Amino acid sequence: MSRILVVDDEIGIRELLSEILADEGHSVQLAENAARARAARAAERPDLVLLDIWMPDTDGITLLKEWAANGQLTMPVVMMSGHGTIETAVEATRIGAIDFLEKPIALQKLLATVKRALRNGGSQPQVGLTLLSLGRSAVLSDLRKRLAQIATLSMPVLLRGEPGVMPELYARYLHQPNTPWVVAGAALADAPQDLLAQAASGLLFVEELAALSRAQQRNLAYVLGRQEKARARVVSFTSEEPARLTAELGFDPVLLARLSELSLLLPSLREHAEDIPDIASILLAQLVEARNCPPRHFSTAALNTLRQFPWPRNLQDLQAAVKNLALTALEEEISVADVERVSAQFHAVAETQVALPLDLPLREAREAFERAYFEQLLAREAGSIARVAEKSGLERTHLYRKLKALGIALGRKEE
């Protein structure tokens, strides 16, 4: 027996679906709006949700996005609508819905869809972070729009950014629903024909160009030359500057030019630091939801401390820190002291990553050094402006101006 949650604002449809599904041996719970659906999902952990799109308080697409962003899309969801369009169905499946039912719903269609959803999606994995859950800042909103704009194109895309920005989240935003998703990885060392066949009509993601050997580069060039015929889109990432990638690391410049027909720069976590409290809360909620840790929540001050830390390896470091906090905090509420204890381990990482930018013009090199200098000071002093001003020998007003000019996001922690 499966637990099924039916969410629809029409009482007649709720009762009809409940009767049909109960006759099939399922336990059925009903909700007439999004608010009741949230409560039912939290209390009952259903095995399947049948979710209406048009509801009076919050529409079904918005609720689906909310569950996906908060790591709560751990059950299959089938959308329902009497006014559905192809675009709506595509958007729903992109967000995470497993299927779409058009009203009026035929009995056999309903039963077949429910059976298939429970069989194929009954053990939905913990979804982790998605691009939708990374925050609401302007920089991410603009980037999501750009990605959506090019999502249906077939040309290769090169994503660039700092280490630890989790490029797969952005690449997945370009992935079309119900098509192959293939991570190139070690498979690039094998027969490229097989890799191309796996990725046909889907997306092939190359995690880091700088890690590819000469042989892997040749195989990637083979795939790239035939990707249009196979309708396989290639999306790649590098954390290296293109000039260094070709001149110092030996990457084929012709191949790089072909991979970067479209190129997008991914933001560092510092560039949308205002999203850190939301991201950290979502990561923690996902761990609690998956029962990987006891119930936990952050204090407001702890979230502010997380926001002020520079996170040298971006989302990768933040995710590791949240998991550490979830497992090692002694109280249900994670405090500032907990955050400072765990974030201290990332200070050394930040320091080992600083290299003298000798290949830049003097002005750019000086700015790069100053940015690294102040980020390390802020990390070491847990974001305290007073202590950073004292250590750097700058008056506070001058320090604020300097940090703003360097583009360093900051929460004003005075002491």
> Tens of pLDDT along the chain (415 residues)?
799 999 999 999 999 999 999 999 999 999 999 999 999 998 888 999 999 998 888 899 999 988 887 777 888 999 998 876 777 877 888 788 889 999 999 999 999 999 999 987 644 444 578 888 888 899 999 999 999 999 989 999 999 999 999 999 999 999 987 789 999 987 888 889 999 999 999 999 999 999 999 999 999 999 999 999 999 999 999 999 999 999 988 999 999 999 999 999 999 999 999 999 999 998 998 888 778 899 999 999 999 999 999 898 899 999 999 999 999 999 999 999 999 999 888 765 555 455 556 667 888 778 888 887 887 777 666 567 877 888 888 888 888 888 888 878 665 444 4
Judge if 211 and 110 occupy the same domain.
Answer: no
Please say which residue of 66, 86, 121 terminates a domain.
Answer: 121
Judge if 182 and 283 occupy the same domain.
Answer: no
- pLDDT at position 347, please? 62
Judge if 258 and 352 occupy the same domain.
Answer: no
Determine the structural domain holding residue 33 and report its residue range: 3-121
Q: How many domains does the chain have?
A: 3
- pLDDT at position 297, please? 95
Radius of gyration of the chain (CA): 24
Judge if 383 and 346 occupy the same domain.
Answer: yes
Instruction: Supply 64's token pair.
Output: 């689906």
Number of Cβ atoms within 10 Å of the Cβ of 300 = 9
pTM: 0.66
Please say which residue of 213, 231, 265 terminates a domain.
Answer: 265
Query: Is 400 in a helix, a strand, or coil?
Result: helix
Q: Which residues contact 350 (CB under 8 A, 6 or more apart)?
A: 310, 312, 375, 376, 379
- pLDDT at position 274, please? 94
96 vs 22, 71, 93, 360, CA distance in Å?
A: 26, 11, 5, 44
Judge if 273 and 261 occupy the same domain.
Answer: no
- pLDDT at position 133, please? 80
Q: How far apart are CA 189 and CA 212, in angstroms?
A: 9
Judge if 244 and 114 occupy the same domain.
Answer: no
Is 65 domain-assigned?
yes
Pairing status of strand 48-52 against strand 3-7: parallel
For residue 29, the cross-strand partners are: 5
Judge if 67 and 155 occupy the same domain.
Answer: no
Judge if 293 and 409 occupy the same domain.
Answer: yes
CATH number at 279 reads 1.10.8.60
Judge if 156 and 230 occupy the same domain.
Answer: yes
Judge if 308 and 391 occupy the same domain.
Answer: yes
Judge if 90 and 222 occupy the same domain.
Answer: no
Is 319 domain-assigned?
yes
- pLDDT at position 359, please? 67
